[in-house]
Structure 1
Amino acid sequence: LRTLWHSTPVDTFFPPTLTGDGAGPGGADRTWNRVAVAPDSGCAGALDPLLLKTLRTVGCERVLRATYTDATNTSVITVGMVFTSAEPAAMKALAARFTDEKLTERTDLMPRTYPVKGTIAAGFGSAQRASWTVKVLDQAPVVVYAVSGFADGRRVPDPQPVDKATADGAKTAAAQSGLGHDAAGIADQIETALSGSVSTATESSG
């Protein structure tokens, strides 16, 4: 499974179009279109040093990233998969740590964006991050993350993790614009695609 990133077509991991039924604010349907896929890379350039340090117990082998935009071209979202070298027990321990220590709420552990020159995501940098999620999987040696922002490049002074940005009554820009739902919805879609690839790989090797 650790070499799954190398043998799986990019469109399987990052489909050109993602559809989230009921994934938007108020249960609205959402559609996201892929802007670009980053070349697969090592971990140092793709991840913030503190996030990389937090993942050291599972090891970081490779990072795959892509950036999407919503159907109205008002939001941009980078989604990534960190392939690790860990056994299931280590992944479960890290997942428990993220939950127990509320690491998903720490702004200093926000994932980096993947801006793409010449596209709607050209201005999607660190200051534009509005909402994010980091999900440590236990069925595969992978960490899935997503981070969203406005497509117009505006700075966001009060980014919120998806749990807070999708909560009833949340009033921040990330919440009211649906950016929390974008990050959560895309992360869920990519996790589902990954799970399908893991099942196929497991059946093939069984």
Structure 2
Amino acid sequence: MSTEARRAPFPPRPAHDPAPAEAEPQVDDEPSVFVPRRPLERPRETRPPVPEARITAPPPPPPASARFPDAPPAPVPAETTTRLRPVPADPAPAVPPAPAVPPAPAVPVPPPPAWSSAPDPALSWNAPWPVGAFGQPEPYEEPVRGPGPLARLRGRTGVAAVCVVLGLGLLGGALAGSRLTGDDGDRTADSGFAAAGSLWHNVPVDQIFPPTVRGTGAGPGGADRSWTRIAVAPDTGCAGAFDPLLARALAPVGCARLLRATYTDATQSHVTTVGLLFTKADPAAMAGLAARFRTERLDRRTDLLPLPYAAKGTPAAGFGAKQRASWTVSVLTDAPVVAFAVSGWADGRTVDTPQPAPDAVRSGATSAPAQAGLGNEAQGLADRIQRRLRQTVSPATEKPS
């Protein structure tokens, strides 16, 4: 085969020719070096033709006589009329004509908003973001800090200084008021001390030694006691009123006046002499004497007993030095007074060993004065007389307002 024959193009395929099957290549008799092959073509898919949808027009509407019969009905056959009775139709009610409704006024309809094709700048990516949105950092704010330690210290110091100033001002005002009004504590104490020293000639005897003294809870075991005055001694000096050692112990404070009275109990089994020694001492001397009696226990010594007042013609007529069973001595510091009391039996029996009243009133005491309650007689009566003395001094020292 020549070169021209090999280069000749394939004949064109008709357009209406469906894709034929590939023809077997023709083999020339002459050997050739290169035989070109036809390019492989994808076989076309063969699908059945889709039938075309036919659009059919809707059927025409039925005639008007079929929907709304406006023609008279057909005549009924005779056979039907003989079998069925005609039903007379009800007369249609007369309907008044509807009133004429005026047409509604035309409401102007606003035209639809004209949409602009221009983009909104607020929706643009280049628009500034709000503060704090989408995780943006918030503006820095200075944290609120409290006062430092130095400022707090200064504040507390200022408050303390103000309190000190106010306290000093109140104290100064109180002192000034007391000076203006004459309400001085020392002067009141001095005036009360001096007033108590003059009671022996300014106060009636019944106010110092009342005829009857009530002693609630003053008896043994908390029992109530009652004492009746049977004799009052004239006010005298201190000569012969005390044992020699007791008189020597009381000598430093002096003796201005001695008042005494004798009482008996409700059964008249016991007699008790109570006395008030008005001294010439000042408050310092009385305080010193009270300290000495307390430290040296002079009020417990049996050789330092006061003597009783035995009035004739009374249950205390036989009440002498040997009948003393219990006693008490108290040195007052708010008044120049030494109060004492001594008790015994009214039948005149003697007592070998008298017992101090503080010891005789203790629970469990077994001595004869303690068992008889003579310690309660001396202690209870002396306490009530001292209380009345203080009550008498308080009104005397009060100043009129």
Place the TM-score, normalised by the shorter chain, in its bin: over 0.9
The answer to whether the aligner puts 1:13 opposite 2:13 as a matched pair is: no
Matched, 1:98 2:293: yes
| Distance of 1:198 and 1:142 partners within structure 2 | 12
1:62 is the counterpart of 2:62:
no
The aligned residue for residue 153 of structure 2 is: none
Corresponding residue number in structure 1 for 2:319: 124
Is residue 81–residue 142 contact of structure 1 (8 Å, CA) maintained in 2?
Answer: yes
Aligned to 2:235: 40
Q: Partner of 2:357 in structure 1?
A: 162
Question: Using the alignment, how far apart are the partners of 1:205 and 1:134 within structure 2?
Answer: 35
Tell me which amino acid in the other structure corresponds to 1:108: D
Query: Does 2:282 correspond to 1:77?
Result: no
- Give the Å deviation of 1:45: 2.8
Residue by residue over 1:50-91, the C-alpha shift from the partner in whole angstroms, topping out at 9 and shown as x without a partner, is 212101221111100000000110100000000001111111
CA distance in 1, matches of 2:288, 2:245: 18
Give the equivalent residue in structure 1 for 2:336.
141
Paired positions, count: 206
Q: Which runs of 5+ in 2 are unaligned?
A: 1-194
- Choose between structure 1 and 2: higher strand proportion: 1
TM-score by length of 1: 0.97
Task: Structure 1: state its 5+ residue gaps.
Answer: none
CA change 1:181–1:205 in 2 (3 A) is farther
The answer on 1:89 being equivalent to 2:284 is yes
Percent sequence identity over aligned pairs: 62
Which of these residues, 367, 371, 381, is aligned with residue 176 of structure 1? 371
Q: Are 1:140 and 1:198, in contact at CA under 8 Å, matched by a contact in 2?
A: no
Q: Secondary structure at the match of 2:352?
A: coil
Q: Give the distance between the partners of 1:205 and 1:88, measured in 2 at CA.
A: 25
2:316/2:346 contact within 8 Å kept: yes
Aligned to 2:247: 52
1:158–1:172 contact (8 Å) kept in structure 2: no
Per the TM alignment, residue 205 of structure 1 is displaced from its structure 2 partner at its CA by 9.5
Match of 2:217 among 22, 27, 30: 22
Cα deviation, residue 167, structure 1 = 0.9
Shift of 1:49: 2.6
**SS of the counterpart of 2:276?**
strand
1:148-175 CA-to-partner distances (Å, cap 9, x unmatched) read: 0001100011100011111111111110
Does the CA-based 8 Å contact 2:242-2:305 persist in structure 1?
A: no
Shift of 1:200: 2.2
Report whether the alignment pairs 1:152 with 2:338.
no
- 2:226 corresponds to: 31
Q: What secondary structure does 1:181 align onto?
A: helix
SS of residue matched to 1:186: helix
| RMSD (Å) for aligned C-alpha atoms | 1.3
CA distance in 1, matches of 2:300, 2:400: 37
Give 3-state SS (helix, strand or coil) of 2:387's partner.
helix
